[in-house]
């Protein structure tokens, strides 16, 4: 298949490009290196020493004999993106090319605007490019479980059948996004759904949970193919952060009570899910939604797991409850349905101590690169401290 991956230099985009290339797909990637730039601006970095995209691609060619084409530019530039789509004529576009950090989007007005501009406009440009050049192409869009929030009812996969005043309909599941980043993903879903209904495009929105892990089969083949690993308060996700904190002797930063529950998945399963969606495309006119995670955990359960695994390896690990910088429910009902990817054949990689220990080993190899001042949370959802209460 001809596949175009937006955000192909990123944490998920790079290993996806390698996996698809390894499996014989014709892969082109687009990136504007914004994640690298945001790190430079805030004085942080990936734990792992990632190479430049050109160097990574050359190394992959050396290792596998396969080519990956690259395009450097911002998808917010509609003319640029249109040219890339017209030239590559993809059968599938995998869209990861977004600002994906909730804290970044809450740090200032400028960063909120930047997030929504990059995400919403980039996605809109993509919809037009697909409509005008490759209308049969399948858009596989990375969404987020955070679009739904934590309602007091079970979360369905995208749609819910509602009976209201004696009439019934199946409608998009209600949304309660948890940050201005998560809001941008809701806006994207609305726009993609509209494009499917109106222009007959085909799309799958992958509402993904929180990803953890570092390596995939392909990135492990050569040191130059290594994946990025973020652990700072802005770009690091919770389990990755806890593993790193255990290694350097930093108390695990549980925000508030720690009873917040989220869906989680291993990075290898992200790639498997995206591939399953891609090779089983949506119908023309269909806006399909999959909930993409494999297990639910509370933050505290993860902290306890990392503490056990860390202590088993000889680290002394303390779990600390820090004041929650976010406005979010700290104790809530959570049951999200996630059967559609399993029905397509997903075989989940389940989280256990062994997996955490393997992450700890990899982190240990690079621990000299840790910038410890970037770990504690400083970005507050509500710096004004008005009585807004819980999300
Ligand atoms: N948390 C802690 N301690 C930390 C970091 C986070 O207790 O040191 C808590 C947060 O308060 C939150 C939960 O862990 O309740 C998850 O936070 P996170 O930073 O791991 O993930 P989140 O901000 O929700 O965003 C991440 C990705 C985002 C993706 C989302 C999926 O950055 O791109 O969309 O996970 S989901 O969470 O399902 O919305």
Q: Of the listed 71, 104, 181, 231, which one is catalytic?
A: 181
Contact 101 CB / ligand 1 (< 6 Å): yes
End-to-end CA distance of the chain: 43
What does the DSSP assignment read for 190-248? HHHHHHHHHH--EEEEEEE-EEE----TTGGG-GGGPPP---STTT--HHHHHHHHHHH
Provide CB contacts within 8 A for 167, sequence distance 6+. Answer: none
Strand-pair category, 319-322 with 252-255:
parallel
The rounded distance, in Å, linking the Cα atoms of 94 and 273 is 12
- Residue 19 inside a domain? The answer is yes
* pLDDT at 387 (0 to 100): 58
Instruction: Classify residue 38 as exposed, middle or buried by CB count within 10 Å of its CB (0-12, 13-18, 19+).
Output: middle
Active site residue 96: no
Gap from CA of 22 to ligand 1 centroid (Å): 31
d(CA 13, CA 341): 19
Number of domains in the chain: 1
Residue with tokens 């970005």: 379
Q: Residue 188's pLDDT is what?
A: 99
What is the 261 CA–ligand 1 centroid distance (Å)?
Answer: 10
Pairwise CA distance, residues 86 & 302, whole Å? 45
Tokens (6 digits) for 62: 């050396």
Q: What is the pLDDT of residue 384?
A: 84
- The answer to whether residue 230 is domain-embedded is no
CA-to-CA distance for 169 and 159, rounded, in angstroms?
Answer: 10
259 catalytic per annotation: no
Tokens of 277: 């969606």
Q: Reading across the β-sheet that carries 261-266, which strands appear in turn?
A: 210-212, 261-266, 295-298
Residue 163 forms beta bridges with which residues?
168
**Residue 328 CB–ligand 1 contact under 6 Å:** yes
Q: What pTM value is reported for the model? A: 0.97
Q: To test ligand 1's pocket by mutation, which of 10, 151, 262, 264 has the most ligand atoms within 8 angstroms of CB?
A: 262
Could you tell me the CATH number of the domain that includes residue 179?
3.40.50.720
Strand, helix or coil for residue 297: strand
Distance CA 238, CA 229 (A): 12
Of all helices (H) and strands (E), which one includes residue 181? helix 180-199
The number of CA neighbours under 13 Å toward the Cβ of 190 is 12
Helix (H) or strand (E) holding 182: helix 180-199
Count of CA atoms in the C-beta half-sphere (13 A) of 168: 2
- The residue count for the chain: 391
How far is it, in rounded angstroms, from Cα 50 to Cα 105?
Answer: 24
Instruction: Note the pLDDT of residue 167.
Output: 98
**Contact (Cβ atoms closer than 8 angstroms) between residue 157 and residue 289:** yes
Ligand 1 centre to CA of 180 (Å) is: 13
- Return d(Cα 291, Cα 319) in angstroms, integer: 30
According to the model, what pLDDT value does residue 92 have?
99
235 lies in a domain? no
Specify the DSSP class assigned to residue 380: -
Residue with tokens 């994207």: 188
Which candidate, 251, 375, 381, places its Cα nearest to that of 325? 381
Residue 100 in any domain: the answer is: yes
Q: How far is CA 62 from the centre of its chain?
A: 29
Tokens of 244: 């790193």
Smallest CA-to-CA distance from 93 within 312, 359, 281, 345 is with 281
For residue 120, the SS3 value is helix
- Record the tokens describing residue 350, joined without a space: 């389940």
* pLDDT tens-place values along the chain, 391 residues long: 999 999 999 999 999 999 999 999 999 999 999 999 999 999 999 999 999 999 999 999 999 999 999 999 999 999 999 999 999 999 999 999 999 999 999 999 999 999 999 999 999 999 999 999 999 999 999 999 999 999 999 999 999 999 999 999 999 999 999 999 999 999 999 999 999 999 999 999 999 999 999 999 999 999 999 999 999 999 999 999 999 999 999 999 999 999 999 999 999 999 999 999 999 999 999 999 999 999 999 999 999 999 999 999 999 999 999 999 999 999 999 999 999 999 999 999 999 999 999 999 999 999 999 999 999 999 999 988 655 555 5
> Is residue 216 annotated as a catalytic residue, yes or no?
no
Domain that holds residue 208: 2-212+267-292
> Is 365 within a domain?
no
Beta-bridge partners for 30: 6, 71
User: Which atom of ligand 1 has the smallest separation from the CA of 237?
Assistant: 20
Atom 12, ligand 1: residue with shortest CA distance: 260
- Give the C-alpha separation, 111 to 109, whole Å: 6
Ligand 1, residues 106, 206, 210, 321: which to mutate, most atoms within 8 A of Cβ?
210
Distance CA 293, CA 213 (A): 13
In a domain, 240, yes or no: no
CB distance 237 to ligand 1 below 6 Å: yes
Owner of token pair 């917040």: 260
* Residue 299 in domain: no
Kindly give the distance from the C-alpha atom of residue 300 to the centroid of ligand 1, in angstroms, as a whole number: 13
The response to whether residue 209 sits with its C-beta less than 6 Å from ligand 1 reads: yes
Q: How far is the CA of 285 from the centre of ligand 1 (A)?
A: 32
Ligand 1 atom closest to residue 211's alpha carbon, by position in its atom list? 35
Q: State the closest ligand 1 atom to the C-alpha of 377, by its place in the atom list counted from 1.
A: 8
144 lines ligand 1 (CB under 6 A): yes
Is 372 in contact with 253 (CB distance < 8 Å)? no
Tell me if 170 is assigned to some domain.
yes
């Amino acid at each position: 298949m001809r596949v175009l991956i937006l955000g192909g230099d990123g944490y998920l985009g790079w290993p996806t490009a390698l996996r698809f290339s390894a499996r014989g797909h014709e892969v082109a990637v687009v990136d504007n290196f914004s994640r690298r730039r945001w790190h430079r601006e805030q004085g942080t970095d990936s734990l792992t020493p990632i190479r430049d995209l050109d160097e990574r691609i050359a190394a992959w060619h050396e290792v596998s004999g396969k080519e990956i084409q690259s395009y450097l530019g911002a998808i917010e530039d509609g003319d640029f993106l249109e040219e890339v789509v017209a030239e590559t004529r993809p059968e599938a576009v995998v869209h990861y090319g977004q600002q994906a950090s909730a804290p970044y989007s809450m740090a200032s007005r400028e960063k909120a605007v930047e997030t929504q501009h990059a995400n919403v406009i980039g996605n809109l440009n993509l919809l037009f490019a697909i409509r005008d050049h490759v209308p049969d192409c399948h858009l596989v869009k990375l969404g987020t479980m955070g679009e739904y929030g934590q309602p007091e009812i079970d979360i369905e996969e995208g749609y819910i059948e509602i009976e209201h005043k004696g009439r019934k309909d199946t409608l998009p599941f209600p949304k309660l996004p948890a940050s201005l980043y998560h809001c941008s993903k809701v806006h994207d879903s609305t726009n993609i759904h509209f494009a499917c209904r109106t222009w007959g495009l085909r799309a799958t929105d992958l509402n993904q949970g929180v990803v953890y892990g570092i390596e995939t089969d392909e990135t492990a083949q050569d040191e130059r193919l290594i994946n990025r690993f973020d652990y700072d308060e802005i770009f690091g996700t919770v389990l990755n952060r806890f593993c790193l904190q255990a290694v350097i002797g930093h108390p695990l930063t549980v925000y508030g009570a720690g009873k917040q529950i989220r869906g989680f998945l291993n990075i290898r399963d992200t790639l498997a899910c995206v591939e399953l969606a891609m090779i089983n495309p949506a119908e023309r006119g269909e806006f399909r939604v999959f909930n993409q995670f494999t297990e639910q955990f509370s933050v505290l359960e993860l902290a306890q797991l990392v503490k056990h695994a860390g202590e088993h390896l000889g680290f002394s690990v303390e779990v600390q409850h820090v004041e929650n910088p976010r406005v979010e429910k700290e104790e809530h009902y959570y049951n999200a349905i996630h059967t559609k990817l399993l029905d397509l054949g997903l075989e989940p990689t389940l989280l256990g101590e062994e997996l955490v220990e393997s992450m700890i080993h990899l982190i240990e190899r690079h621990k000299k690169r840790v910038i410890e001042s970037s770990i504690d949370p400083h970005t507050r959802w509500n710096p004004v401290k008005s009585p807004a209460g819980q999300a």
